[in-house]
Structure formats: structure tokens, C-alpha cells
Amino acid sequence: MTKENAADYAITIGNVRYAAPQRYYGTRILFVVNGSAGVSVNGEQHLMEAGDILFINRNDHYTVRGSTDNNIVCLSIPSHFFVMHYPHYFHYDFVCFSKELDPGRGDVVAKLRRMLSELVIVHSRNEEGSLLEAQSLLFQLLLLVTRYFKTERPHMDAGEASDERIARIIQKMELRYADPLTLAEMAESEYLSSAYLSRYFKQTTGMGFLQYLKMVRLKHCVEDLLYTSDNLSQIALKNGFSTAKNFTEAFRSVYDQTPVQYRKEHRQENSAAFASMPEKLAAGKEPEAPETLMQLTRYLEEAPDQRALPNEAPSEDCRITIAKGETATALAREKHILFIGELNELLNQQVKEQVILAKQQIRVDYVGVRNLIGGSTLLPEVETDEFISTTPKYANADLAMQFMKEQGIGLFLRIAYTEVIRNEDRYFLELERFLVHALQAFGREFVNRWQLLFHAEKETAVLGTELERIYLRLHASIRKYAQQIKVGTFLPFKEEKESLGLAHQWQFQQSDRIDFITYDADQNEVVDFSEISDEDFQSSQDYIIGKTRKLKRFLKKHHMPQPIYLENWNTLTGNTRYTNGTFFRGALILKTVLDLSAEVAGLGFWLNSEIHGKNGGTRNPTVSGLELFHFFNGKRPAFYTMLFKERMTGEVCAEGENYVLTRDEDGYRLLLFNEKHFNPRYSVDTLFMRNRSQELHVRLLGMEPGEYQVRKYLFDQQNGGLYTKWGQLNSKHGIDLEVMDYIVQSSRPTLEIEDERIDADWSFYASMSSNAIMFIEFRRAIGGSVQ
């Protein structure tokens, strides 16, 4: 007997009060729309309520008992159809009980509910195009299932040939299960030996050919036992068994009871529990249930996060084992220098607010200024007959320094050789006068915190002896009045040759008079943005940390133990405003800072784009740097990146390639990041970017049990990246302050809060786009049941 067709899928909907124990050799998805149901799967109990979804895998033994008012959708996808389109089907189980999924799966489950609802509604229509629309939804749903819910079967090895061959054989079995099929016949049809097919079939599906055929036949036998009055001989012959005795023995080996016992027990339960609807569910028919269809429409209104699209990357396991013991150390706390151009920028109220915010959120140890003596900060002297001038020279400087003193911020003064040499004697006279005034007005404690940097260009025609002479004079002038002020130099280290130009080698001889050394590093300088090849971009991935370590080896070789500061630096970015905006780089910045923290004494940042631009950042490619703020107080990626890094207090108890975990008496803090290094030109390609997304199944092992408040921040291009909102709300007719204020206020990392009881181990899913950062705080509940 040959069945006319084998359906791609089947959908049943309605009230299920009881469904007898059964196996389905395929994948079933149960979706409770209303009411409740208890589902036993291989002896494990699941209480399903409205909105819950449960997967039944092939050959699972399951039973359903439901409430009188429930509505359940059952989507059945036979193995032969699944494997035709997903050759690795037999290598995996698909696991989902929505109520017990780890946190972070909410968006995916919402997407799954919506797809199931749409599929049922479309399937119920009899309209032109409905079949195509249903097929499209089915494939999207399968893609979601295979990407997010698969778990590998440990006994499965990779197939020796294409699993499409197995799919063809299984389809023949599904169509001709009632015929006297043999392994030899199937092997001959595929031009294989019987021995090879037997081994290959079991290796791929997990069971032998005859065992599989038996399961397919028994599936249909169960339906006949429950919903027909046929005797055992009729059922046996109808479904491929040669005799009633063979049927009984096969049935007992799977269901642990005879067909007669099964029919008697479960047919009575069926009759007592319900009339027709569960029968239709078990039989695979498709009743009309308009009330259920109406109830399903509410799930169409759910708007899951678009990052949960089915073409995102599959999840990867990330096991984080928390270290025990007292040997752990805290993250290194490098000093932060905030460059603001000239000192009188601190008279600007917006600049003050930004400095205060940066101080509060990411620590500011120094404000970096340049062009102090020859710039616009010090007022010109005015001839007057007053005993004390009412237009004091240091009025602006005093206001700025008073602000710095109140904020506990030191001065980092950059003195360039070119500004000194314009009028050398005059410069040193003014510098000493300024220093004396600062000591008198603000006290030695404040001034002694200062750091003065002598800077000469990388490529200069000035002789090394001349640079040395100016530096020694500068050093002597400072030491005359303030012994504790640190005086350092800029060292233009050439990492490719691990050398220093002749004009700067005088620093070797003056090492004992140099308190610190600064350098710069911009990986954009070592790539060719016009090249199609990605090799340069890959080779530059560790450029900054590589240059830093080479510099430290170089200094050690020349007996220079001074602390080093990375004054100006930049991670990979776009070479146009457009690609610079679309190329989100939060994780690139974070990874660089984490690498550098233990290597350098300090890092420099520019306060905002406007100041950086005025000081040459938009014109001179050698002036690199990261800004914390954009125009209108918008926060750049460096701001949020450093904010999260600064909140990683306590001791490091776990660290890996894409995570850092710290703990203290208040709880745990976890940084996850999806660092992706590629040609920024590709950032405008949506598919390319989607393929660089990452989903981690994070398992935290060894947490201290107790009640926690879990705060989860996500920082990515869509959440915190200014450029996305800027582009969405831009207009050729311009944008005003109202629009800008909205852009700034809405461009923030997302925040989710959950209350969790954690018992030593805890797991969750983290979905991150390219270069995204996730920061998670586990705050111990004060007065909670911490054990």
C-alpha cells in the first residue's frame, strides 16, 4: 500500500484535554494560546500556560493533559521534510520550553510566537498566494529553530556523504511504510551496498533502518488503535506488519504494553476527557477554530528586537568559571588625561559640564592644555597708573585653575619646542611668572600635581643638541620653584624598525632628568583604505598594544624605566565621515583599553569634537585622538566604553578573549564584547554586518548563591551610537536644537533589570552586533537570602 503524499507540515488547533502517549518521528511545536496543559516528555513534566512554547523531538514519548478552556496550536514537521532542507537534522535535538529558557531569549521567543501565529492564520485562509506565504513562513520558522534552539547529539558524528541521500530514503519510507520495504531495496535504489547503507543510516539518524521503519509504522498504528474500530490483524496489515503477533511484539518493545492494553486504557481516557477536538489533533486534521485565530492576532502585535532575526549568527557557548582564593587582582587603573586645547576653554559652561560629567563617570586625573604662554588664556598687560591693575593678567587662568582645584584635577601642560623658540627668553620669563603666581594663589599641593610635557615633532630638522638644550632649560626652570612637578618628553618611537630618530636620541643621555614619556599610536596610519584586500586591516588589529610592548622593550634596553603615557591614539575607523559614522567601534576601544591598562601609566582623550577640530584634529592626519563628546553634548563611543570599564570595580575573578568578570562585596560585574576587526567600508553592507553579529550562551559557574538584582546594559550602533539616530532624523533642510536634543537623549545604551535567585550557576543568552558591548551588574540584594 502506498500513501499518495507526505505533507510538508501539519497544523492542528483547538482544545486538548487529553492526548494519549505517543511518539512522532519528526519535530512538533506545541504553542498554548489560552488556558493550560501539562505535557510529559520522556517522563519529564512541563506545565504550559498561555504564551508557552514546547518542542517535541523525533521519537520523544509524550502525553498531553489540558484544562477545559485551553487552546493549543500543534505544528508537526516530519523528519523527511526537515532533513531535505536541513541536512544536519539528525545531528541535533531542538530544545525549547519557553518558561524555562535562560534570560536573553525573550526576543527570539517573541519572534517564534509571531511566526507561529502568522503561519496558522495564513494556513487557515483559502486565498491566492496563501500556500506560498505559508511556505515562506515555515522556512523562516525553521531557520529560527535551527539557529537558536539546536543542541548537538553527543553520539552523532558527521555523515560520510550528503545527508540528502538519507532524506530521500526517509521520504520513501514515509510514503511506502505499509509496503514490505527492505534495506536491500533501498540500498539498490541509491547504488549502495546493504552493509554500507546500514552503517551510514544508523550513523546519521541514530537508529537502524529497520528500527526507524518500525517507528514510522507504529506512529500510524497508534492513530488506528485510538480512532478506529479495526482489529489488530487489520491494523497490522494496513501499516506494514506481516502478522498481528509481529505488530504486538514491536508495539510492546516501544510502549511497554500490548496494543490491546494501550487501546483499552487510552481510548477510555480519550472518551472521558473530550469528544472531537483532541481526536482531530492526534489524527492530524485541521479544524476551523475562528476563536483561536482571533486570539492568535494578539501575538502579531509583539515587536521583538530586530537583532533577533533568523539570519543572525548561531549561539556560541561561553563558560565562565569564577576563580576562588585570594590571589585575584583588580583591573589596572591607568590615569586619564582630558585634552581641551587652551586652558581658557574651561571658562565655557558646556566645557565645564562635560569635564564634570567625565570626572564623575570615567575619572579625569589631568586636564591637558597647550599653547599656554603664547595663546589667548593669559591676558595682555595693560599700561595703567593703578597701584594694582584691575585687569589682572591671570584672571582667566585663575578661574580655570580654581575650577580644576575644586574638581581635584591636575594640569597636564604640553609645551612645544616651536612655541618656545619664537622668543625663548621671553617664554621662560612668562612661564616662571605663571608658575610662581599659581603657587602663590593655589598652593603647593595643587601645583605639585602638575605634569609638563616637552614636545618636539617626529620629523624635525632641529638638531638633537638644540632640543636637549631647551629641555634642560625647561627642566631647570620648573625645578627652581616646584621640585615635585613631573617633567617629561614625547618619544617618537618608530615601531617598524624599533628605533628612534637621531634628533631625539639625546633622551637616552638625559634619562635621569626625564620623569615620564609619552607616545602616540594610530592604527589608521598603517592601513591603506583604498585597497580592496583586507590583509592590512587584519595585520593592524593589535597594532596599538604591539607598538606599546615594543616601546617598553626598547626603553628597557636603553635603561629608561620611566612610566609611559599614550597621549594621542585611535582605533581603526572609517576614512570618510560616512564610513566613520557607520563603523561602530565600541568593542575595539574597550579591548584596546583593557590591553593597555596594565602596560601604560595613562591614556589621553579629547574632550569633544569641536575642540579637537579647532586644534587640528580634522586637518592634520598626524593628530589622532578619541573624543568623549560630540556636538550638543552627544556622547561618543569612547565615553560609554570608558564608563563601563570604570564600573568594573573589585577583583578580577574570570577573564577571557571576549569577557571580564569582577566581584566585590556588593556582587559581580561582567563585561562582554563582540570585537570585530574589518575594513570599515563594509560597515554600510547590512548583510556583512549581520554576519558579524554574535550570540553567546553565557554560563557563569561558581557564583555565590543568593538573591540578585541583575542590571543589563547593551551598547551598540543602535543603542548608544549617535550616528544611527542622526542619520534617521536628518533633513536636507537642517535640524534644530529640538531635534538634536532628542537625538542626544535617545542615543543611550539600553537597560534591562531582572530579579534573579542564583544558585551557584547561572546562564543567559547575550546577542550582540559587531563591536557591541554588554555590561551586566549582579547586585546582591541587601537583606536578601544570601547564603
Strand residue runs (E) in 7-124: 10-14, 18-23, 26-34, 36-41, 44-49, 53-56, 61-66, 71-78, 92-94
Q: If you average pLDDT over residues 147-170, what whole number do you get? A: 66
Q: For the purposes of burial, counting CB atoms within 10 Å of the CB of 630, is it exposed (0-12), middle (13-18) or buried (19 or more)? A: buried
* pLDDT(271) > 60: no
Q: Please tell me the distance from the alpha carbon of residue 607 to that of residue 586, in angstroms, as a whole number.
A: 17
10-311 under CATH 1.10.10.60, yes or no: yes
Among 114-118, 342-346, 675-679, the range with the most confident prediction by mean pLDDT is 342-346
Sign of CA dihedral 756, 761, 767, 770: positive
Q: Please tell me the distance from the alpha carbon of residue 416 to that of residue 623, in angstroms, as a whole number.
A: 14
Residue 607 cell numbers, joined: 574632550
Helix, strand, or coil (residue 447): helix
pLDDT tens readout for residues 58-105: 878 888 999 888 889 999 998 878 888 888 888 888 999 998 888 888
* pLDDT(279) > 90: no
Q: Name, in order, each residue with C-beta under 8 angstroms of 751's C-beta and a sequence gap of 6 or more.
A: 711, 712, 713
The DSSP bridge pattern shows strands 36-41 and 10-14 to be unpaired
Per-residue confidence band for 682, with pLDDT thresholds at 50, 70 and 90: confident
pLDDT exceeding 90 applies to what percent of the chain? 52
* pLDDT(164) > 80: no
Residue 716 cell numbers, joined: 551598540
So what's the pLDDT on residue 256?
87
So what's the pLDDT on residue 4?
37
* pLDDT(391) > 70: no
Homologous superfamily, domain 312-327+649-787: Glycosyl hydrolase domain; family 39 (2.60.40.1500)
pLDDT tens readout for residues 539-549: 788 999 999 99
Domain with CATH 1.10.10.60 in the chain: 10-311
Domain with CATH 2.60.40.1500 in the chain: 312-327+649-787
Residue 229 cell numbers, joined: 474500530
| Three-state DSSP string of 313-337 | CCEEEEEEECCCCCCCCECCCCEEE
Return the axis-axis angle of helices 586-597 and 637-646, rounded to nearest 10°. Answer: 40
Task: Answer for the pair 484, 519: CB distance below 8 angstroms, yes or no.
Answer: no
So what's the pLDDT on residue 524?
85
Alpha helices in 598-636, H assignment, sequence order: 609-612
Considering only 206-220, 237-251, 605-619, which range has the smallest mean pLDDT? 605-619
User: How far is residue 199 from each of residues 193, 268, 677, measured CA to CA in Å?
Assistant: 10, 42, 44
Q: Please tell me the distance from the alpha carbon of residue 199 to that of residue 154, in angstroms, as a whole number.
A: 18
Task: Answer for the pair 569, 625: CB distance below 8 angstroms, yes or no.
Answer: yes
* Buried b / exposed e along 196-214 (16+ C-beta atoms within 10 A): ebbebbebbbbbebebbbb
pLDDT exceeding 70 applies to what percent of the chain? 89
Q: Please tell me the distance from the alpha carbon of residue 211 to that of residue 198, in angstroms, as a whole number.
A: 11
So what's the pLDDT on residue 41?
92
Q: If you average pLDDT over residues 269-273, what whole number do you get? A: 48
Strand residue runs (E) in 483-532: 486-490, 517-522
So what's the pLDDT on residue 299?
84
So what's the pLDDT on residue 274?
37
* pLDDT(300) > 80: yes
* Buried b / exposed e along 734-773 (16+ C-beta atoms within 10 A): eeeeebbeebbeebebeeeeeeeebeeebbbbbbbbbbbb
Per-residue confidence band for 3, with pLDDT thresholds at 50, 70 and 90: very low
Q: Name, in order, each residue with C-beta under 8 angstroms of 622's C-beta and a sequence gap of 6 or more.
A: 458
pLDDT tens readout for residues 577-597: 778 888 999 999 999 999 999
* pLDDT(768) > 70: yes
So what's the pLDDT on residue 197?
87
Q: Please tell me the distance from the alpha carbon of residue 125 to that of residue 493, in angstroms, as a whole number.
A: 72
Q: Which secondary-structure segment (H or E) carries 253?
A: helix 244-255
Calculate the average pLDDT of the chain: 86
* pLDDT(691) > 70: yes
Q: If you average pLDDT over residues 190-199, what whole number do you get? A: 88
Pick the CATH number of 332-647 from 2.60.40.10, 3.20.20.140, 3.20.20.80, 3.40.50.1370: 3.20.20.80
Q: Please tell me the distance from the alpha carbon of residue 787 to that of residue 777, in angstroms, as a whole number.
A: 19
CA 557 to chain CA centroid, Å, is 41
Residue 102 cell numbers, joined: 535562560
User: How far is residue 518 from each of residues 431, 487, 490, 548, 562, measured CA to CA in Å?
Assistant: 22, 11, 5, 11, 10
Q: Please tell me the distance from the alpha carbon of residue 528 to that of residue 534, in angstroms, as a whole number.
A: 10
Per-residue confidence band for 23, with pLDDT thresholds at 50, 70 and 90: confident
Strand residue runs (E) in 523-591: 564-570
So what's the pLDDT on residue 534?
66
So what's the pLDDT on residue 342?
96
Per-residue confidence band for 151, with pLDDT thresholds at 50, 70 and 90: confident
So what's the pLDDT on residue 273?
41
* pLDDT(681) > 50: yes
User: How far is residue 592 from each of residues 4, 543, 586, 596, 784, measured CA to CA in Å?
Assistant: 63, 10, 10, 6, 38
So what's the pLDDT on residue 287?
40
Q: Please tell me the distance from the alpha carbon of residue 721 to that of residue 583, in angstroms, as a whole number.
A: 10
Q: Under the phi-then-psi rule, with left for phi > 0, alpha for psi from -120 to 50, and beta for the rest, what region is 172?
A: alpha
**Residue 666: which of 557, 753, 521, 779 has the closest Cα?**
779
* pLDDT(621) > 90: no
Higher pLDDT, 468 or 386: 468
* pLDDT(741) > 80: yes
Alpha helices in 91-193, H assignment, sequence order: 106-124, 130-148, 164-176, 183-189
* pLDDT(618) > 80: no
Q: Please tell me the distance from the alpha carbon of residue 13 to that of residue 288, in angstroms, as a whole number.
A: 8
Q: If you average pLDDT over residues 196-211, what whole number do you get? A: 85
The Cα angle at residue 600 between residues 598 and 606, in degrees rounded to 5:
120
| First and final C-alpha spacing in the chain | 65
Residue 371 cell numbers, joined: 599653547
Strand residue runs (E) in 216-365: 315-321, 335-341
**Residue 292: which of 52, 124, 99, 77 has the closest Cα?**
124
* pLDDT(284) > 80: no
So what's the pLDDT on residue 292?
73
Among 172-176, 616-620, 674-678, the range with the most confident prediction by mean pLDDT is 674-678
The Cα angle at residue 458 between residues 453 and 459, in degrees rounded to 5:
140
Q: Please tell me the distance from the alpha carbon of residue 153 to that of residue 59, in angstroms, as a whole number.
A: 14
Considering only 242-256, 376-390, 573-587, 756-770, which range has the smallest mean pLDDT? 376-390
**Residue 316: which of 426, 441, 152, 177 has the closest Cα?**
152
Q: Please tell me the distance from the alpha carbon of residue 289 to that of residue 710, in angstroms, as a whole number.
A: 42
Q: How many helices (H) and strands (E) does the chain have?
A: 28, 28
Q: If you average pLDDT over residues 631-639, what whole number do you get? A: 92
Q: Which secondary-structure segment (H or E) carries 608?
A: strand 602-608
